[in-house]
A and B are shown apart, each in its own frame.
Chain A
């Protein structure tokens, strides 16, 4: 074997010209390759990397803002698993270790569930308390919020349920009077004061300790789950600051919710706990399985909907979701919901504030208003995405984005000033949703339920909730309309502020307001026109016919669906909120309509839109690729570009290699047999090369600048006086993905999506021709989106664009022009200015995005 391998050198002079390979030489070459690839016939396993050597610390890790290679990570995991399995029978200790390894997946999701449940409980309790702090304090026990303060008080009355002597508003404390214009102004002032100080504290903490804690986090988590690395995004400080500032942000009364950030918080927990288990801490692909489960736990505690959480993880955030992850997500969601339920943050034995129970049926004709609500939801979603993206783009590109603290303060001030006079915007958004969802019964005393018969003390309550409206309801209606407009405008400006801000609650509030308005209108219509044929059939006089609370719920689901474009998970989440199976059909109708209407105006949901705005390397699995371009149209180098930077397998020196790395910014280099035979050997990552060289300098004796670097199994024959060569085979990926230059892009895109590739090499007749990276594909998709040419002209189109790369007979012209070796080595770096086109990663993409 050694002789055979040493005989690799004789192949070097061979020109490797694709079309002219002597036929009889092919088998010999093939056998030679098999030997050098597998590291000898003895190990028949599919080693990707050479594990026989001592591993270099740090190899196989990734830099910040880079994409992971799913294939490589999965192979690494399989290799590790195989190793543990083979050792299992050696001793009891090894057996225990293998058991621990097998169970660590369940352990880590259990821990994640526990932590995210506990943190959600903390956030819920603290946010409620702080929110009520704007209004007043509980004198008997400072740590109680308004509701808890009056929990045992017997002084509460039927009409004014939330008043009790223990709870003091700020005006009562400062001025000593509870009524009158003076106290109103005092309360107004204190409300604004607290709102501003909470917002200021939140944005300062975010800015000083963890800038990554801002925003909702779901777009970034989607990107991370698809294989991107953002260092520190799921770290300890981000977790702590996000938890703390989320409470402040919610309490400041800004139009935002805590549901999206809770997903981020849960993912931070998952990431932190995965460091306890080497199976997950050392493997980025496995870590993402834990993160998928964690995001399910996050939604589970945010909405009290464990199954909805799992479906959310599957439908919205996850990229790679095998069945094993599904079960683990399910378990994590269960544990998290269980913990939150035992903390019982709201004192109602439920996981969310706005849990409702309906038992009234709905009628077929009500589908029309439900579908109308769906249309509204879709329109709102499309409008919101456009407006918010436009505003965020402005923030990103103009000087305006330089003042994040000022912006937060300004938005908080406007919100507080406008919100206070209107009781529906003054209260906590979750409470508003609860009030809107709750149906009017005899037990309700809210303004929304002030129907005439109830107000008349003389008439007893009749069993008919469909009553003529009372002035209370009319004033509630216009207050709701104002609240709707206010929420719509403020939410656009709030989402994207540099504080933790979720989108679910404000969207749901907007939908619930609209739904409730429609519901009350329908109810009044049914009351005054009960002889219409529609109502005559279904609503007899005196029968319970229309449930405005249900309309609010459907509206909330429709608006959330319009913004996020979720379908199944959304319906399940709302279904779990209400616990009524009979409302599935209205919810489905509304959510589906809202998705259709929203998609008519733009196919992407708010999270995808933000991903695109930030230029994250996210390859959406939902979009279809329908163009007929070929791999060679997307491949780099382009015709006008300098040639591809490649390494040869055994005739570079350390100095030359360092020079290549210093001169280029590419993240990986194809390794070929030799300059003459440009056959592909493997692929080496820049980070690994740098680490390996640095490591060799420290540990191995005799590595000089002019040491030869080789990627082959055995050292090349060298002159006697030359320094010791450096073997880099262990960092060489010997099974890089390759496609031929004529592969249709549909297939290439599919390969990238399904396997989660980071780069793919393009060969022609077995010779190295170019490279396609994820970024190239994203650029290509973007380009195609810009000018969607008719499919039929595509061939002509690329022919026209790359006229010089193909002859008139359709044959590619000589390969030599595509791939050139780095001549400058021989010229002593005389032509150092020539930069070789090769893989440039997302960082560039990100930077480019910032210039928008």
Chain B
């Protein structure tokens, strides 16, 4: 157990730099079952590992001096630590990614089609859909492979291109999963 704690403070993987240890993050928890007429109790103290035993943690002692030993024998004390900073950072990261994804999803499914319709009218939309579908020629594939390795457009074009490709991929995936039920059903 000692080695555990020492390596833990040294190594906090991803979050190592973000977090400094909080004094709230260690506890010694003693669970004492019912004894004679004393009810079961849970004691928590913020003590170090070597002090984590019944005598240091159980305060006030519910029994008289001569029974302390018998009472303490039944108690189970466990030293535990957590990293509240890790939890906080993780939850914040998770929620921000989720939020961004939701925003992007709303944009993709609602705002963008609306904008497109307003800007280009209906015909354009249909045509761009056709573009995606009509890519079935045997040599078009080779064309794709080769053009991927040759064209070196500027940054903005690249992003645009990558986005288009991603979209086509997702559409393809959607078709195979939800419509044709070819994979993953």
Q: Which residue of A lies closest to B144 (CB)?
A: A58
Q: Could you say which residues of chain A place their CB within 8 Å of the CB of B141?
A: 63, 687, 690
User: Is B133 interfacial (CB-CB < 8 Å)?
Assistant: no
Picked from B82, B143, B174, the residue with its CB within 8 Å of the CB of A151 is B82
User: Is A743 interfacial (CB-CB < 8 Å)?
Assistant: no
Is B91's CB under 8 angstroms from A661's CB? no
Picked from A212, A454, A694, the residue with its CB within 8 Å of the CB of B184 is A212
Residues facing A in B70-98 (CB within 8 A) are 74, 76, 80-84, 86-88, 90-94, 97-98
Chain A contact residues: helix, strand, loop or mixed: helix
Is B8's CB under 8 angstroms from A344's CB? yes
Q: Could you say which residues of chain A place their CB within 8 Å of the CB of B46?
A: 152
Give Cα A121–Cα B82 distance, bound, in whole angstroms. Answer: 13
Q: Could you say which residues of chain B place their CB within 8 Å of the CB of A613?
A: 185
Give Cα A485–Cα B98 distance, bound, in whole angstroms. Answer: 34
Q: Could you say which residues of chain B place their CB within 8 Å of the CB of A397?
A: 181
Q: Could you say which residues of chain B place their CB within 8 Å of the CB of A240?
A: 97, 101
Q: Could you say which residues of chain B place their CB within 8 Å of the CB of A61?
A: 145
Give Cα A690–Cα B170 distance, bound, in whole angstroms. Answer: 25
Residues facing B in A212-235 (CB within 8 A) are 212, 214-215, 220, 230-232
User: Is B177 interfacial (CB-CB < 8 Å)?
Assistant: yes
Residues facing B in A681-696 (CB within 8 A) are 686-687, 690-691, 693-695
User: Is B183 interfacial (CB-CB < 8 Å)?
Assistant: yes
Residues facing A in B122-154 (CB within 8 A) are 138-139, 141-143, 145-146, 149
Give Cα A686–Cα B145 distance, bound, in whole angstroms. Answer: 14
Q: Interface 1/0s, chain B 28-39, versus A by CB < 8 A?
A: 000111111101
Is A208's CB under 8 angstroms from B40's CB? no
Q: Which residue of A lies closest to B9 (CB)?
A: A342
Give Cα A237–Cα B171 distance, bound, in whole angstroms. Answer: 13
User: Is A392 interfacial (CB-CB < 8 Å)?
Assistant: yes
Q: Which residue of B lies closest to A208 (CB)?
A: B105
Picked from A230, A344, A442, the residue with its CB within 8 Å of the CB of B33 is A442
Is B170's CB under 8 angstroms from A152's CB? no
Given the interface contacts A443-B31, A694-B142, does A158 sit within 8 Å of B39 by beta carbon?
yes
Give Cα A248–Cα B166 distance, bound, in whole angstroms. Answer: 24
Q: Which residue of B lies closest to A662 (CB)?
A: B138
Give Cα A445–Cα B92 distance, bound, in whole angstroms. Answer: 34
Give Cα A143–Cα B94 distance, bound, in whole angstroms. Answer: 11
Q: Could you say which residues of chain B place their CB within 8 Å of the CB of A847?
A: 180, 182
Is A125's CB under 8 angstroms from B105's CB? no
Is B91's CB under 8 angstroms from A152's CB? no
Q: Could you say which residues of chain B place their CB within 8 Å of the CB of A143?
A: 87-88, 90-92
Picked from B82, B97, B149, the residue with its CB within 8 Å of the CB of A148 is B82
User: Is B169 interfacial (CB-CB < 8 Å)?
Assistant: yes
Give Cα A613–Cα B185 distance, bound, in whole angstroms. Answer: 8
Interface range for B? 35 or more
Residues facing A in B31-70 (CB within 8 A) are 31-37, 39-44, 46
Q: Which residue of A lies closest to B94 (CB)?
A: A126
Residue among B87, B102, B141 with the highest chain A CB neighbour number at 10 A? B87
Is A342's CB under 8 angstroms from B173's CB? no
Q: Interface 1/0s, chain B 102-132, versus A by CB < 8 A?
A: 1001001100000000000000000000000
Give Cα A153–Cα B29 distance, bound, in whole angstroms. Answer: 11
Is A344's CB under 8 angstroms from B174's CB? no
Give Cα A211–Cα B31 distance, bound, in whole angstroms. Answer: 48
Q: A126: shortest Cβ distance to chain B, in Å? A: 4
User: Is A496 interfacial (CB-CB < 8 Å)?
Assistant: yes
Is B24's CB under 8 angstroms from A152's CB? yes
User: Is A409 interfacial (CB-CB < 8 Å)?
Assistant: no
Q: Could you say which residues of chain A place their CB within 8 Å of the CB of B82?
A: 148, 151, 344, 347
Is B181's CB under 8 angstroms from A401's CB? yes
Given the interface contacts A158-B42, A690-B142, does A349 sit within 8 Å of B80 by beta carbon?
yes
Q: B162: shortest Cβ distance to chain A, in Å? A: 11
Q: Which residue of B lies closest to A845 (CB)?
A: B182
Is A850's CB under 8 angstroms from B145's CB? no
Give Cα A212–Cα B183 distance, bound, in whole angstroms. Answer: 8
Q: Could you say which residues of chain B place their CB within 8 Å of the CB of A35?
A: none
Is A344's CB under 8 angstroms from B184's CB? no
User: Is B4 interfacial (CB-CB < 8 Å)?
Assistant: yes
Is B177's CB under 8 angstroms from A498's CB? yes
Is A850's CB under 8 angstroms from B181's CB? yes
Flag the segment in A199-207, A306-314, A534-542 that touches B: A199-207
Is B98's CB under 8 angstroms from A57's CB? no
Give Cα A690–Cα B12 distance, bound, in whole angstroms. Answer: 51
Is B42's CB under 8 angstroms from A122's CB? no
Q: Which residue of B lies closest to A665 (CB)?
A: B138
Q: A251: shortest Cβ distance to chain B, in Å? A: 11
Is A158's CB under 8 angstroms from B184's CB? no
User: Is B178 interfacial (CB-CB < 8 Å)?
Assistant: yes
Q: Could you say which residues of chain A place their CB within 8 Å of the CB of B11?
A: 338, 342
Q: Could you say which residues of chain B place their CB within 8 Å of the CB of A237?
A: 166, 170
User: Is B14 interfacial (CB-CB < 8 Å)?
Assistant: yes
| A/B interface sample: 16 pairs, CB < 8 A | A58-B146, A63-B141, A114-B13, A125-B86, A143-B91, A211-B170, A211-B177, A240-B101, A343-B83, A343-B86, A349-B4, A395-B185, A402-B179, A461-B34, A498-B178, A661-B139
| With A158-B32, A205-B101, A690-B142 already in contact, 12 other A-B pairs whose C-beta atoms are closer than 8 Å | A58-B142, A126-B91, A141-B84, A157-B41, A158-B33, A201-B102, A211-B173, A244-B94, A344-B82, A457-B37, A616-B183, A849-B182
- Using CB atoms and an 8 Å cutoff, list the residues of chain A in contact with chain B: 57-58, 61, 63-65, 114, 117-118, 121-122, 125-126, 129, 141-144, 148, 151-154, 156-159, 161, 201, 204-205, 207-212, 214-215, 220, 230-232, 237, 240-241, 244, 247-248, 338-339, 342-344, 347-349, 392, 395-397, 401-402, 404, 442-443, 445, 454, 457-458, 460-461, 496, 498, 613-614, 616, 658, 661-662, 686-687, 690-691, 693-695, 698, 846-847, 849-850
The 3 closest A-B pairs by CB, nearest first: A158-B40, A347-B82, A58-B145
